[in-house]
Amino acid sequence: MNVMAKAEKKISSAFIYFFGSFGGILFGYDIGVMTGALPFLQADWHLENAASLVGWITSAVMFGAIFGGALAGQLSDKFGRRKMILMSAIVFMVFSVLSGVSPDMGEASAYYLIIVRMLLGLAVGAASALVPAYMSEMAPAKARGRLSGLNQTMIVSGMLLSYVVDFLLKDLPGEWAWRLMLGLAAVPALILFLGVLRLPESPRFLLRKGDEAQARKVLSYIRKNPADIDQELASIKETAKEEQQANQKTSWSTLFSGKYRYLVIAGVGVAAFQQFQGANAIFYYIPLIVQKATGQAASSNLMWPIVQGVILVIGSLVYMWIADKFNRRTLLMVGGAVMGLSFILPAVINWMMPNMNPMTIVVFLCIYVAFYSFTWAPLTWVLVGEIFPLAIRGRASGLASSFNWIGSWLVGLIFPIMTASMPQEAVFAIFGIICILGVIFVKTCVPETRGHTLEEIEEQGTNHGRVKASNPEN
């Protein structure tokens, strides 16, 4: 027993935070990998004229992720964040390999790959829900924004990794190129599994299950001041006691009870807006966007995803530097306003100057990606991880993740249809309007969470619910 305790003491906070957020690599890799793999897959399986099959192959992961996020969030409340992250890594490994070894059986191969990628999406969606929840429960309030932002750095690093892998493998024979692109996703999944084997469980989950001694031990790894540990344990225990006294059984209907409704709407709304603002239209289709703007073949534009990936990684690092220096709401509103203008201005310029340089839209898209990278991209997951009360955190973060993936899936499906029926500038202008609506939503519906403990944030929601109940006209 003493040997095990000593071994556990060797777990550093840096190790915990690194592998606690490493699931974002898996999430990001699979978002980006089809950008380069799809042209080779189409040629290998002769799917050039099978638009619906190609669309489903591309979006199948996002479709599966819709359910993976909700399912993992619910199960994590029962089995713990750590165990569910381990399970997600296993699922990701298995179905990444199965994607890479897809049998060549004509049209049936496409259906096989769609099903496999849907199942892979369960793991991707689970990671998108579990990692923010785990990181927020491990990080101290004063550094939670920066440490939770590690998740976004991991996501965009995974995207950049997939873009670089696509570019490096593009000169292989077509069949080998796309198979290796998809199959290599198993490597980061294996690294995640091995790392998480040594991670402790979330102290809040442990305390909720009555294991105070282990919760105290975990907090001792990541809190330097013993007084902070006692204070945090007392705060968590008080919240848990209130939940027990209320004798509430957590269910989906609980999420929208008066006590929680305000915070659930805020968290789920931000998660949904992040995707409906159109970011993934750029990430999935940037080679095609450049092709339509310049006339160059999409296959010759595989450097553009790398450019976007580099901007995303730099932006995530900028966010980690400024995360705890500015309010969450301020960053979201400033970022959303600039993103909206970056989408709307090309349409206005094109209307005033019909002969504008076609690369103008690409320049504005880079500005959009830059501001998205250090505002809405990381802050969505920071808020999802910290805004939901303990009693509903698993289910609520899963619901937010599912809405986020619904947006991602729909944007991925409808963007090609929209650009086929109207100018690209007009399509992006529509997304720009949604960005502005997102700013209004943040201003009116989202509370400030920077510097507050998770228990203080819950109290904000409780008080807001009481005000609404006593003043229904408001």
Flag whether pLDDT at 474 surpasses 70: no
Q: How many domains does the chain have?
A: 1
Phi, then psi, of 154 in degrees rounded to 5: -65, -40
The 10s digit of each residue's pLDDT in 26-44 is 878 887 888 888 778 878 8
Answer yes or no: is 214 within a domain. Answer: no
What is the rounded average pLDDT of the residues 1-25?
A: 64
Q: What confidence score (pLDDT) does residue 207 get?
A: 80
What is the rounded average pLDDT of the residues 228-233?
A: 76
| Closest to 341 in 3D by CA, of 372, 310, 314, 312 | 372
Least confident of 153-167, 309-323, 337-351, 450-464: 450-464
Residue 249's CB is within 10 A of a number of other CB atoms, namely 8
* Higher-confidence position of 338 and 172: 338
Answer yes or no: is 207 within a domain. Answer: no
What is the rounded average pLDDT of the residues 141-164?
A: 77
Number of H helices, E strands in the chain: 21, 0
* Higher-confidence position of 1 and 429: 429
Residue type at position 272? A
The 10s digit of each residue's pLDDT in 345-362 is 988 988 888 777 777 888
Reading the block at residue 6, the tokens are 């000593």
Q: Could you give the count of Cα atoms lying within 13 Å of 151 in the half-sphere of its Cβ? A: 27
Which of 243-252, 254-263, 287-296 is predicted most confidently?
254-263
Q: What confidence score (pLDDT) does residue 4 get?
A: 38
What is the rounded average pLDDT of the residues 228-252?
A: 67
Flag whether pLDDT at 16 surpasses 60: yes
Q: What confidence score (pLDDT) does residue 324 get?
A: 74
Flag whether pLDDT at 45 surpasses 50: yes
What is the rounded average pLDDT of the residues 255-272?
A: 86
Q: Distances in Å between the alpha carbon of 434 and those of 337, 350, 369, 439?
A: 10, 20, 16, 9
Q: Round to whole Å and give the CA distance between 281 and 408.
A: 8
The fraction of the chain above a pLDDT of 70, given in percent, is 86
CATH code at position 67: 1.20.1250.20
The 10s digit of each residue's pLDDT in 370-414 is 999 999 988 887 888 778 877 777 678 778 877 888 888 888 778
Answer yes or no: is 205 within a domain. Answer: no
The mean pLDDT value of the chain amounts to 80
Reading the block at residue 354, the tokens are 């019909």
End-to-end CA distance of the chain: 58
Answer yes or no: is 423 within a domain. Answer: yes
Q: Round to whole Å and give the CA distance between 159 and 313.
A: 9
Residue type at position 263? L
Answer yes or no: is 1 within a domain. Answer: no
Least confident of 138-147, 245-254, 312-321: 245-254
Answer yes or no: is 103 within a domain. Answer: yes
What is the rounded average pLDDT of the residues 219-230?
A: 74
Answer yes or no: is 208 within a domain. Answer: no
Q: Which H or E run contains 240? A: helix 226-246
Q: Round to whole Å and give the CA distance between 83 and 19.
A: 13
Q: Where are the alpha helices (DSSP H) in 139-173?
A: 144-169
For residue 354, the enclosing domain spans 13-199+248-470
Flag whether pLDDT at 447 surpasses 90: no
pLDDT band at 246 (very low <50, low <70, confident <90, very high): very low
Reading the block at residue 332, the tokens are 């979201």
The 10s digit of each residue's pLDDT in 96-135 is 999 999 888 777 888 899 999 999 988 888 887 787 778 7
Flag whether pLDDT at 302 surpasses 80: no
